[in-house]
Amino acid sequence: MPRNASTRSRDGSRRRHASVLLLTCAAIAACVFAFASCSKKSSSDSGSESKPLVVGFSQIGAESSWRTAETKSIRDEADKRGIDLRLYDAQQKQENQIKAINSFIAQRVDAIILAPVVETGWEPVLMQAKAAGIPVILVDRGVKVSDESLYATLIASDFVAEGRMAAQWLAKALNGAGNIVELQGTPGSAPAIDRKRGFEEGIAPHAGLKITRSQTGEFTRAKGKEVMEAFLKAAPGQINAVYAHNDDMALGAIQAIEEAGLKPGTDILIVSIDGVRAAFEAMVAGKLNCTVECNPLLGPAAFDAVEKVLAGETLPKNIVVQDRVFDQSTAAEVIDSREY
């Protein structure tokens, strides 16, 4: 049956609709593709292909299970965001961290994350990073610099407050009287300086509370044990409590107390800071009395800061991580929910 004018025009308009529909779909697909490529933040767009962000991380070392948890958090978050992370372990030495930062500058990384082992001595290298236009994000420990524009932000806990919280718990447990020995963290580091100050402020109202001995245990379990052994030898029967700037040193002190034939957590009370899993196990076992949490899972916040700074945002100078106090009365209840 020959096809008349109206059927031909209907076919013609059907073909036109089909091509309009096709063109529209193609246009939508192109928009979606364009949007996908520009929204991938964690990549630096260099014209045709998007390169992953390159971030240098100058880590202090692996002195404690807290530090290991922090390193893992930053590694995992970089992987999750497809960021090329150049991690450098400085083995506790500032000169190694400075070398690492200079190498990151030479590699023209997009940003630098720094966990500064000590507070001072950073101005020259931070000025070089600034001159190279590379933003620096500080994690967990602060620096003392005359020009705060040398770093974009500091993501950390309030160490003075942590020291005060430990003091308040111990003052109550000792009814305001007793001899305390102190295991300090790395000399010159922000947590050691501030946790000491906060604790001293916290016990000041209690005339009966005295710090009778104080020495660095370098934030390690082994050194914590060694120093506690020396304290026990030097002052047998005269120690009522231990204040340790981190859980690892406290766990070393527990070993020393047990080897001296005493009951940690009973004969000598022990308060520390970090909130690592081993500390909760020691509290459940009655050997540690209290730990003030200091959250090491700083990966997400650190890379949020990196991406915001690279997007031109100005960040608050301090991003303070909230901490809580845990003791034997709550340890068993929360131990399974602990992430580090």
Enumerate residues 6+ apart whose C-beta is below 8 A from 174: 208, 209, 240, 241, 269
Q: Among 56, 163, 191, 265, which residue interacts with ligand GYE (rule: CB under 6 A)?
A: 191
Residues 179, 240: contact at Cβ < 8 Å? yes
Rule CB under 6 A: say whether 63 interacts with ligand GYE.
yes
Closest CA to 65 of 261, 240, 280, 316: 280
Q: How far is the CB of 316 from ligand GYE (least distance, A)?
A: 19
- Residue 133: burial class (beta carbons within 10 Å; 0-12, 13-18, 19+): exposed
* 182 is a site residue for ligand GYE (CB under 6 A): no
- 271 neighbors 245 (Cβ within 8 angstroms): no
DSSP annotation of 266:
T
Identify the residue among 56, 59, 66, 78 touching ligand GYE (CB under 6 A). Answer: 66
Residue type at position 171: A
For ligand GYE, the closer of residues 71 and 240 by Cβ is 71
Residue 64 makes contact with ligand GYE by CB under 6 A: yes
Number of residues that bind ligand GYE (CB under 6 A): 13
- Residue 313's contacts (CB-CB under 8 Å, 6 or more residues apart) are none
Q: Are 325 and 292 in contact (CB under 8 A)?
A: yes
Which 123-142 positions form the footprint of ligand GYE (CB under 6 A)?
140-141
Q: Which is nearer to ligand GYE, 116 or 265 (CB)?
A: 116
- For the bound state, the minimum distance from the C-beta of residue 30 to ligand GYE, rounded and expressed in Å, comes to 49
With binding defined as CB under 6 A, does residue 219 bind ligand GYE?
yes
Give the whole-angstrom CA distance, residue 280 versus residue 247.
10
State how far the alpha carbon of 9 is from the alpha carbons of 5, 15, 20, in Å. 6, 10, 16
Minimum distance of ligand GYE from residue 64's CB (angstroms): 4
* Residue closer to ligand GYE, measured from CB, 110 or 119: 119
Among 39-47, 58-66, 208-216, 253-261, the segment contacting ligand GYE (CB under 6 A): 58-66
Q: Which is nearer to ligand GYE, 179 or 246 (CB)?
A: 246
Which stretch in 61-69, 80-88, 94-102, 167-175 sits in contact with ligand GYE by CB under 6 A?
Answer: 61-69
Give the footprint of ligand GYE on residues 246-265 (CB under 6 A): 246, 248
List strand residue ranges (DSSP E) for the chain, in order.
43-46, 49-52, 54-59, 84-89, 111-114, 136-139, 153-157, 177-184, 208-216, 241-244, 269-274, 290-293, 318-321, 325-327
Q: Which is nearer to ligand GYE, 42 or 246 (CB)?
A: 246
What is the C-alpha to C-alpha distance for residues 276 and 49, in angstroms, rounded to an integer? 42
Backbone angles phi, psi at 30, to 5 degrees: -60, -45
State the chain's maximal CA–CA distance in angstroms: 116
Q: Which is nearer to ligand GYE, 52 or 188 (CB)?
A: 188
What radius of gyration, in Å, describes the C-alpha atoms of the chain? Answer: 28
Nearer to ligand GYE, 53 or 113 (CB): 113
- Residue number with CB closer to ligand GYE (43 or 92): 92
Give the residue, chosen from 56, 67, 150, 232, that forms a contact with ligand GYE under the rule CB under 6 A.
67
By rule CB under 6 A, what string of x and - marks binding of each residue 287-306 to ligand GYE?
Answer: -------x------------
Of 110, 274, 293, 323, which lies in the binding site for ligand GYE, with binding defined by CB under 6 A? Answer: 274
Binding site for ligand GYE (CB under 6 A): 63-64, 66-67, 140-141, 191, 219, 246, 248, 273-274, 294
